[in-house]
């Protein structure tokens, strides 16, 4: 099977049916596998996905997770069930044009890449989300040594080799782009248009973006701890200079002011810095605890596929849940 498409689905009953139909209108539809991963939807998305698996016999696999685990965890579940030599990951909202899948596939094969990202010049998202994505890309550039100018889009294609490296990660906090940047360096981009969302609303919130930043901060780099050390060192040196300055003024001035404002400012600054560092260390320790306690990466409730390999897929659903819980 040359190509698999993994689509994390969350409350997208207005768009997921159209998206799958458009994908199977492509010229390569005869050798296409679509993996729909429902990430705890509360609308009619699960039933629509199940109907699609029955309609497109053997070409659509429906994976229903037991609860909402997050986009990247859902993608990990979908990659587990993918069978293609190349795997595309795309959103469920039709903002990524289905016809661009063929362009990504051609670029990846012709350029001998392990991953090809879509480059979007004009995003049709809210300004706060565009700003959040920009900040996340900046963080990845600094912490993960992401090539400058590379935009980490959720719409991308990966080789089977890259997918296998991603699936080797068993922790409960996956970040797909971070895992890719740690594993491969044959990375390309192609321009892809971004469309207006035809229906529904985005499930991404500011809180989810903050969670994504924390995963980038704490899962793939110790740079924040090093930064905290250097900030503390600079604060220590500044404190010594301040003490020396105060001693000098006390010795050279007969009427030395108490300096309450300076004292309170210094106290507030260093107390806040201590709390930030303590919170950062606590985030690292908390994630270690969740890993040790076996927090699952995802839990599969059921799979639906009406192809010849239905029994194999159902058997893997059990093993996937067990592996994710290790």
pLDDT tens digit sequence for 36-51? 999 999 999 999 999 9
Same domain, 168 and 277: no
One domain, residues 315 and 283: no
Do 287 and 314 belong together in one domain? no
Tokens of 122: 């004009």
Q: Are residues 65 and 173 in the same domain?
A: yes
pLDDT at 43: 92
User: Which has more confidence, 325 or 198?
Assistant: 198
Average pLDDT taken over every residue of the chain:
80
Shared-domain flag, residues 130 and 234: no
**CATH assignment at residue 86:** 3.90.550.10
User: Which of the pair, 208 or 118, is modelled with greater confidence?
Assistant: 118
> Which carries the bigger pLDDT value, residue 323 or residue 260?
260
Whether 67 shows a pLDDT value over 60: the answer reads yes
pLDDT at 227: 74
The pairing of beta strand 115-119 with beta strand 187-191 = parallel
Q: In the chain, which ranges are E strands? A: 3-9, 32-38, 60-65, 86-89, 115-119, 156-159, 187-191, 300-304
Regarding whether 174 and 137 lie in a shared domain, the answer is: yes
CA distances from 155 to 117, 193, 279 (A): 6, 11, 33
Count of structural domains, the chain: 2
pLDDT tens by residue, 105-122: 999 999 889 999 998 766
Q: Specify whether 165 is located in the same domain as 268.
A: no
- The C-alpha atoms of residue 212 and residue 70 are separated, in whole angstroms, by 10
Residues 300 and 157 in one domain: yes
- Mention every residue, 6+ apart, whose C-beta is less than 8 A from residue 277: 228, 231, 232
According to the model, what pLDDT value does residue 123 have?
63
Residues 161, 284, single domain; the answer is no
Q: Are residues 37 and 160 in the same domain?
A: yes
Of 48 and 308, which is predicted with more confidence? Answer: 48
Q: What is the pTM of this model?
A: 0.75
**pLDDT of 189:** 92
Q: Say yes or no: 228 and 158 in one domain.
A: no
Q: State the DSSP code for 299.
A: -
| Structural domain boundaries enclosing 126 | 3-220+296-324
Q: Does residue 192 share a domain with residue 59?
A: yes
């Amino acid at each position: 099977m040359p190509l698999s498409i993994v689509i994390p689905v969350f409350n997208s009953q207005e768009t997921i049916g159209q998206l799958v139909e458009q994908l199977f209108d492509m010229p390569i539809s005869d050798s296409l596998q679509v993996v729909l991963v429902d990430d705890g939807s509360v609308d009619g998305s699960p039933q629509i996905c199940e109907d699609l698996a029955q309609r497109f016999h053997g070409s659509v696999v429906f994976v229903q997770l037991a609860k909402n685990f997050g986009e990247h965890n859902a993608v990990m579940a979908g990659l587990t069930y993918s069978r293609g030599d190349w795997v595309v990951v795309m959103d469920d909202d039709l903002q990524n044009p289905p016809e661009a899948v063929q362009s990504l596939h051609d670029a990846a094969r012709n350029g001998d890449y392990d991953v090809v990202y879509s480059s979007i010049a004009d995003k049709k998202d809210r300004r706060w989300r565009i700003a959040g994505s920009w900040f996340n890309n900046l963080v990845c550039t600094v912490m993960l040594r992401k090539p400058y100018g590379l935009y980490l889009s959720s719409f991308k294609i990966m080789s089977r080799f890259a997918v296998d490296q991603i699936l080797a990660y068993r922790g409960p906090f996956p970040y797909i782009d971070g895992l890719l940047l740690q594993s491969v360096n044959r990375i390309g981009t192609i321009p892809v248009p971004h469309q207006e969302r035809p229906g529904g609303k985005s499930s991404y919130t500011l809180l989810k973006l903050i969670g994504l930043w924390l995963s980038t901060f704490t899962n793939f780099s110790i740079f924040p701890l090093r930064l905290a050390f250097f900030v503390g060192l600079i604060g220590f040196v500044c404190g010594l200079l301040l003490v020396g300055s105060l001693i000098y003024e006390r010795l050279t001035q007969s009427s030395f002011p108490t300096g309450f404002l300076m004292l309170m400012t210094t106290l507030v600054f260093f107390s806040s810095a201590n709390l930030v560092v303590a919170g950062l260390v606590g985030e690292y320790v908390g994630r270690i605890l969740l890993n040790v306690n076996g927090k699952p990466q995802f839990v599969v409730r059921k799979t639906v596929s009406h192809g010849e390999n239905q029994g194999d897929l159902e058997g893997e659903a059990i093993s996937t849940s067990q592996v994710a819980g290790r």
